[in-house]
Amino acid sequence: MMASKNFQSIDRSRSKQASKKNSNLLLSLPFSSSSSFLKKPTSSNPTLLASFYDQLIAAVGHRLSPLRLAQFAGAAATARAASDKNTPAAEDAAAAFLEKVAAELSSSIRHRSNADEGLDGPVLYLRSLATQHRIRGAKGPDGVRSQVRELRRELERQVAASQAATGFGGGEDASPPAPPPAVSAAVHATAAALAAADGDAGAFYRASLARLAFVGAGDLNALLPAEREGLALDVGAAALVADDVFSFGELLLHPIITEALGSGGAGGGDEMEPSGGGKSKAAASASKHSWLGALLRALADGDLPAFEAACDAHSKEIAAVRPAVAEAAKPGGPLRAKARVCALFALAASLPPEGRRAVPLARIAEVAGLKGGEAEAEFLVMKAVAKGLVRATIDGVEGTVHVSS
């Protein structure tokens, strides 16, 4: 499982790019993608967990599956760093420990045969976790950019090798199966950690969604409610402030979001069940963060009045927990501009699939709340077309926009 200590705020002051990209977007990143095999009382004691690995796991590691051994090593490394207050030196020491285990495992794993995991998967897992610690080490994110790219390429290579082997029979020379979900999740978590360190909300959002696609319900339920809530806020806030994210349907359907927003559906788990006839924990959480659901749903629906109402009603709450969102949501801010583009999307989607798909610029100005009238509406359409968000042509003579998709 990902212990509560794995959730740490990334200090973007070490990144040269932080001041340029939403540097006040506070993200609490999970630094591991381990399975839920560690009990919470044990994982809450870093010194005990590190000793557990040194005195027991290291001795019997040859009897464990390579991936399980890698997961224990990852948990021990996180505990070691936590016991030393997660200083940059402690993070580098944890990374060095994981790199050493990866090297040892790499030399021995190739002499094994395991039908349940790719030969290189556990090594890739360890290197991913080591890179996550390096991001918080002395050199910061600038020291690991090439490693993150290499990790993603290696994951793609392993997936491609597995796909190439599909349908070709097996045999001793067959390519290994696809990497286990924990390995894929670890690689994407590393990319998300780097994006968070850079303050790149769009990259963080995409990497986080990719990571969550490989995290099972059991792993999510193993997290403390506060950890799930924090992750939901991180991903939701990133979706709001990212200047290249305009689709929110997948996010709104994810269990970790539906639980945080109390919107029902999948992902409720045990935390969604009322206890003792009182309010459920998810409902209590939703009462604190109803602003996030209101903003995401308004954008998904292209409902500009609902978006503006949510901004006005929850301005203090937003500023208290996510200052970057509050700043972006100010009049004239980028989030307001995104809401206008989403309103344009909704208007285009409401047009008949064939035939007359022409919309007067005046109508677009009205729906998008543009006080500049047709001239400002024309600029909005041009901006959306330039970004590839919509296909349309503007008829300046008739004052209409012809939407093709």
* CATH number of the domain within which 358 lies: 1.10.10.10
User: Which among 214, 238, 265 is the end of a domain?
Assistant: 214
Burial class, 107, CB count within 10 angstroms (exposed 0-12 / middle 13-18 / buried 19+): exposed
On the CB side of 372, CA atoms within 13 Å amount to 6
pLDDT at 347 over 60: yes
User: Are 301 and 341 contained in the same domain?
Assistant: yes
Domain that holds residue 271: 224-350
Tell me if residue 345 falls in helix, strand or coil: helix
pLDDT at 171 over 60: no
State the average pLDDT over residues 42-62: 62
Distances (CA, A) of 371 to 34, 142, 337: 52, 44, 13
Alpha carbons 320 and 80: distance in angstroms, whole number: 32
User: Are 319 and 375 contained in the same domain?
Assistant: no
pLDDT at 166: 61
pLDDT at 396: 84
Nearest partner of 70 among 145, 110, 2, 122, judged by Cα: 122
Tell me if residue 394 falls in helix, strand or coil: strand
State the average pLDDT over residues 48-53: 64
Structure token digits, residue 360? 């007067």
pLDDT at 276 over 70: no
pLDDT, mean over the chain: 77
State the average pLDDT over residues 72-92: 90
User: Are 14 and 97 contained in the same domain?
Assistant: yes
User: Are 265 and 331 contained in the same domain?
Assistant: yes
pLDDT at 69: 87
pLDDT at 333 over 90: yes
- The amino acid present at 405, given as its one-letter code, is S
- Number of domains making up the chain: 3
> Among 132-136, 203-207, 216-220, 370-374, which stretch is predicted with the lowest mean pLDDT?
216-220
- Check residues 395 and 128 and name the one with the higher pLDDT: 128
User: Are 34 and 178 contained in the same domain?
Assistant: yes
pLDDT at 52: 67
- Check residues 165 and 72 and name the one with the higher pLDDT: 72
Q: Residue 219: inside a domain, yes or no?
A: no
Radius of gyration of the chain (CA): 24
The answer to whether 41 and 93 have CB atoms below 8 angstroms apart is no
Alpha carbons 123 and 4: distance in angstroms, whole number: 24
- Check residues 353 and 338 and name the one with the higher pLDDT: 338
Could you count the other beta carbons within 10 Å of the beta carbon of residue 308? 16
Q: Residue 145: inside a domain, yes or no?
A: yes
- The amino acid present at 198, given as its one-letter code, is D
Q: Dihedral of the CA atoms 59, 65, 71, 76 (nearest 10)?
A: 0
